[in-house]
Amino acid sequence: MKKIGLITNYERDSGLEYTKETADFLISKGCTVLTDQRLGKRLGLDTCLRSYMQVCGEAEMLVVLGGDGTILSAARHAALYDLPIFGINLGSLGYLAGAERSEGRAAIEKVLRGEYAVEKRMMLQTVGSDKRLRIGLNDIYIRNKESAHMLKINIWVNDYYIDTYRGDGIIIASPTGSTAYNLSAGGPVLKPDTQLMAITQICPHNLYARPLVISGDDEVSIAIEGDGALAVVFIDGVLSLEIGGGERLSIKKSDYCTKLIKTTALGFYDILRSKIALQQRG
């Protein structure tokens, strides 16, 4: 791999010292480092492009410096170009990262030598009333625009009516996203290489409410009940669209996937155990 896209989190590396070290190291290994204009100018590179999308279109791999949020943001662009991501964790948990900050240089060397594996992660997609396709790696979360008010959400799977959920909202999670907000809301943990979705209610007002696990080939449809109701939809934590009462929104497995580069033999359960223990200590 000779053309490497570089994305960083400006808050996690405010002075860009680590980002500059990473760029210099890649260049010393004979790589061309591609960035957007903002980062390229700060690093003094002459290979900067206008946008992240252009970087993804020309790079052979993305090196992403930051936490899970940075990787999630990059994944939405990289997936459109079938571009693999190697994340170096500058955050707190870093479920999605391939290496921690202190291991970054050694891990990059492994990647450049071809000593790595690529994990394909299922993504979710939805299309709003504007007909625009939106994709995400973790989850799609729907709540009342006036967050203090309860929502009534009618839900179908493959056009079969399931129930009307009453509560603070609902999460549709991919296997990757099952260890994020879904886990905090009491949802199940799904192995990341499975093709499944979890449907988890948030603070439900019915005692029998339980999360559902469905096939990745299923299609979930939701509709907000009430003429004046208005809900907001977050995809991977980013406010993406609004839906009104009676409007139907469909969510299903995306045709795109996220490719994560891994350089260690640590399995999913090892990572889950260590990250949860870290979170508890924090």
Q: Which residues are catalytic?
A: 68
Strand blocks (E) in 37-111: 48-49, 61-66, 84-89, 99-100
> In residues, how long is the chain?
282
Helix (H, G, I), strand (E, B) or coil at 135: strand
Contacts of 36 (CB under 8 A, 6+ apart): 48, 49, 50, 51, 52, 54, 55
Helix (H) or strand (E) holding 169: strand 169-173
Helix (H, G, I), strand (E, B) or coil at 59: coil
Tally Cβ neighbours within 10 Å of residue 152: 16
